A and B are shown apart, each in its own frame.
Chain A
């Protein structure tokens, strides 16, 4: 079990590093774009120049470019060639690490099965598989058709996923470090600072809908190309009497989002309520003068 704890810590640390890299890559590309196209080379000058209203507007422009759904972006004029080149640059520098670190999350299923991490196997599998499906079968498979279909959601997907994961793995790195170092004697709230718990259980409120709508846009955008290129298509007759149409599979997967989305969102809302309440209770107990030996009544499991 000691090996398990150490392994979980190392795993979380590696994932934290990986997702930070991806997120920084996105930010660097965006800064470069801002500098070249909006500030005309002036950013490197002084920091105070960064906070001029015009420049803040530029930064807001980039955020809108990250997150706005395709029709809105077309309407706001993000179809210009500068922006397109920027997006392509982001894709080139992030796709590989994104594939690597997202695929690594399959290990979390192993951790759950081995009992090293307490989580619901079904929920974890659902989350991981839906991401891997979009990433490998849509984004990676149609990356060469960037302008035609992947630009519908790649930036939103990347920013939502990487921001969520940076915070999530930061949380788990701290937690698993505390767990390992204290040999499981400390409760979650003695280990993780409250602001990190808050971020971990709040960011998804915004980022999850952004990520999921990006997934849906990507699949919808790729559908015509899946049909046109006969992607992953097997037809009868063949000796194994098998046929497969990936576009139908995608359509079924999209229908699966209808019950899946409220289910997962509700699941996370419940977790949020539970964890934040426990953190608050812990804070009030430790702030009171007579705290010395008292332990929080609710010792959330170190997961």
Chain B
């Protein structure tokens, strides 16, 4: 009747008796014990999983999440003389989840105006503004609003379930966003930029962009309502475009970038949109699967992942 914490190669790091007083009841207890008696890794760096192929967990999930009882994962005293194994992984140094988002969006927010100024006005922003074509000014406003909105949402709307992520993500995400921001801005703000020929296309672009941003905000607001402050609760979202897809916030995000590209028409912008869409499709697939796994038959079958009626 014991609980063995092992590295993934099978080395035992800590063995606990489940019968003794002071035996861990929750995942948090276990993490504390690992921090104090085991491999001396802080709880936020720990990743605890059940070995694959263990069917005892009623919650069909193998990741042991903080805030849950151990018995929810099938680790209970009354389960006969069984011994349990939990796998431990050190995730490495962590940085604040919210901080990563703030940093990665700060790049585009600041870099686009800087490139705009350098490309069109040397060091003089008002001269650059004066010289820019109306379409370039519109692009600057749209881009800046988009990333300002994301910063504000990160601060005041999202209720993330994770507090931290590995610091490598900070480097990776910042490289992605800061790099693309510079690349797109270089062409959109180029002195020899060619504006789109048709006014209709431009205004359709503005419309798509506006709808995309508003729709995205509405989705994020609804997701916030699903989770009481300070919890990690996950619920099935209903209403709005959630009736059709699992991740409508991604759908609107893509729509906004379609709009931006209709307005500005650059290969760089289209590339940014395609890479972003691909990334969101991968996440949408994972989230959709997670919903089905977690809520089973309760989850509406007809829902697609991200593109209504299609995928």
What CA separation (Å) do A237 and B188 show in the bound complex? 11
Instruction: Tell me which residues across on chain B come within 8 A of A236, comparing CB atoms.
Output: 187, 190, 192-194
Instruction: Tell me which residues across on chain B come within 8 A of A242, comparing CB atoms.
Output: 187, 266-268
Instruction: Tell me which residues across on chain A come within 8 A of B188, comparing CB atoms.
Output: 241
Q: Using a Cβ–Cβ cut-off of 8 Å, how many residues does chain A contribute to the interface with B?
A: 8
Q: Is the CB of B267 within 8 A of A237?
A: no
Mark contacts of A220-253 with chain B using CB atoms, 8 A cut-off: 1 yes-contact digit, 0 otherwise: 0000000000000000111111110000000000
Q: Is the CB of B197 within 8 A of A241?
A: no
Smallest distance from the beta carbon of B179 to chain A beta carbons, Å?
Answer: 12
A237, A238, A241: the one contacting B264 at CB < 8 Å is: A241
Q: Quick check: is B251 within 8 A (CB to CB) of the other chain? A: no
Q: Quick check: is B246 within 8 A (CB to CB) of the other chain? A: no
Nearest A residue (CB) for B187: A241
Nearest B residue (CB) for A243: B187
What CA separation (Å) do A236 and B119 show in the bound complex? 14
Smallest distance from the beta carbon of B176 to chain A beta carbons, Å?
Answer: 17
Q: Quick check: is B265 within 8 A (CB to CB) of the other chain? A: yes
Instruction: Tell me which residues across on chain A come within 8 A of B193, comparing CB atoms.
Output: 236-237, 241
For the residues of B in contact with A, the DSSP-based class is loop
Within 8 A of A (CB), among B251-266: 264-266
Instruction: Tell me which residues across on chain A come within 8 A of B194, comparing CB atoms.
Output: 236-239, 241
Instruction: Tell me which residues across on chain A come within 8 A of B268, comparing CB atoms.
Output: 241-242
Residue with the highest number of chain B CB atoms closer than 10 Å, among A241, A242, A243:
A241
Instruction: Tell me which residues across on chain B come within 8 A of A237, comparing CB atoms.
Output: 192-194
Nearest A residue (CB) for B267: A242
Mark contacts of B152-195 with chain A using CB atoms, 8 A cut-off: 1 yes-contact digit, 0 otherwise: 00000000000000000000000000000000000110101110
What CA separation (Å) do A70 and B192 show in the bound complex? 42
Instruction: Tell me which residues across on chain A come within 8 A of B266, comparing CB atoms.
Output: 240-242
Instruction: Tell me which residues across on chain A come within 8 A of B197, comparing CB atoms.
Output: 239
Instruction: Tell me which residues across on chain A come within 8 A of B187, comparing CB atoms.
Output: 236, 241-243
Nearest B residue (CB) for A237: B192
Nearest B residue (CB) for A241: B266
Nearest B residue (CB) for A236: B192
Nearest B residue (CB) for A240: B267
Within 8 A of B (CB), among A250-295: none
Within 8 A of B (CB), among A61-109: none
What CA separation (Å) do A239 and B197 show in the bound complex? 9
What CA separation (Å) do A239 and B267 show in the bound complex? 10
Instruction: Tell me which residues across on chain A come within 8 A of B265, comparing CB atoms.
Output: 239-241
Nearest B residue (CB) for A234: B267
Instruction: Tell me which residues across on chain B come within 8 A of A238, comparing CB atoms.
Output: 194
Smallest distance from the beta carbon of A152 to chain B beta carbons, Å?
Answer: 32
Instruction: Tell me which residues across on chain B come within 8 A of A239, comparing CB atoms.
Output: 194, 197, 265
What CA separation (Å) do A242 and B261 show in the bound complex? 13
Smallest distance from the beta carbon of B209 to chain A beta carbons, Å?
Answer: 17
Smallest distance from the beta carbon of A151 to chain B beta carbons, Å?
Answer: 36
Nearest A residue (CB) for B195: A241
Smallest distance from the beta carbon of A121 to chain B beta carbons, Å?
Answer: 15
Instruction: Tell me which residues across on chain B come within 8 A of A241, comparing CB atoms.
Output: 187-188, 190, 193-194, 264-268
Within 8 A of A (CB), among B16-69: none
Mark contacts of B125-167 with chain A using CB atoms, 8 A cut-off: 1 yes-contact digit, 0 otherwise: 0000000000000000000000000000000000000000000
Nearest B residue (CB) for A235: B192
Nearest A residue (CB) for B193: A241
What CA separation (Å) do A240 and B265 show in the bound complex? 6
Smallest distance from the beta carbon of B282 to chain A beta carbons, Å?
Answer: 15
What CA separation (Å) do A242 and B194 show in the bound complex? 10
Offer 15 A-B interface pairs, CB within 8 angstroms, sorted by A: A236-B190, A237-B192, A239-B194, A239-B265, A240-B265, A240-B266, A241-B188, A241-B193, A241-B267, A241-B268, A242-B266, A242-B267, A242-B268, A243-B187, A243-B190
Of all A-B residue pairs in the complex, the 8 with the closest CB atoms, nearest first, are A242-B267, A241-B266, A236-B192, A237-B192, A237-B194, A241-B187, A240-B267, A236-B190
Which A residues contact B (CB, under 8 angstroms)? 236-243
**Known pairs A241-B264, A242-B266 / 6 extra A-B pairs, C-beta < 8 Å:** A237-B192, A240-B265, A241-B190, A241-B268, A242-B268, A243-B187
